[in-house]
Amino acid sequence: MVTERGIEVNLEKVRAILQMTSPKYVREVEKLAEMWRIFVDGATSKKETSAGVVLISPSGNKIKIFVRLDFRSSNNEVEYEHVLIGIKVARERGATWFMIYSDSQLVTQQMKGSHEVREERLMKYLRAIQDLSERFTDLSNEQIPKKEKRILKSIP
């Protein structure tokens, strides 16, 4: 503590900090930081467009959401739809900080600002995500390789 007389040390607090164990796993850090994880996966075919979103809370609770979109869309539009769904559900659950995992390189790069958005339809999605992200402490995203997207299938 800093006072007019200089710095005063509370030895009990210093000992408590020194005796704390550091987190060993990413999940422990996420729990301390109250970070939500959002995994998105979508598919389009000639017959239908579907979306899968899995939210994992800091305490490990899992929320699975499956959506069938009733309009024709590209794979990237479907991926953006998932991201929006995930953000909205996380917000309803009180999340203020989360990481979005997607297998779409284009969408993750556009969200990071490292790839230009050329299609107006995709720009509308990106603007909507940016508007929502202003209400959160932090919103980050990361691309996961397609072969590792089994997270959506493996979570009961």
Strand 36-44 with 49-56, pairing: antiparallel
What CATH number is associated with residue 107? 3.30.420.10
**Which domain, by its residues, includes 115?**
26-154
Whether residue 124 is predicted with pLDDT greater than 90 in this model: the reply is yes
Q: What is the mean pLDDT of residues 113-131?
A: 88
Residue 53 lies in a domain: yes
Q: Which of 4-18, 20-34, 70-84, 141-155 has the lowest mean pLDDT?
A: 141-155
Residue 20 lies in a domain: no
Residue 14 lies in a domain: no
Q: What is the DSSP string of 29-69?
A: HHHHHT-EEEEEEEEE-SS-EEEEEEEE-TT--EEEEEEEE
Residue 38 lies in a domain: yes
Question: Can you give the pLDDT at residue 155?
Answer: 45
More confident residue, 59 or 27: 59
Whether residue 145 is predicted with pLDDT greater than 70 in this model: the reply is no
Burial 88-114 (b: 16+ CB within 10 A, else e): ebbeeeebebbbbbbbbebbbebbeee
Residue 87 lies in a domain: yes
Q: Say how many domains are in the chain.
A: 1
Residue 126 lies in a domain: yes
Closest CA to 27 of 67, 59, 70: 59
pTM of this prediction? Answer: 0.67
CA distance 24 to 145: 25
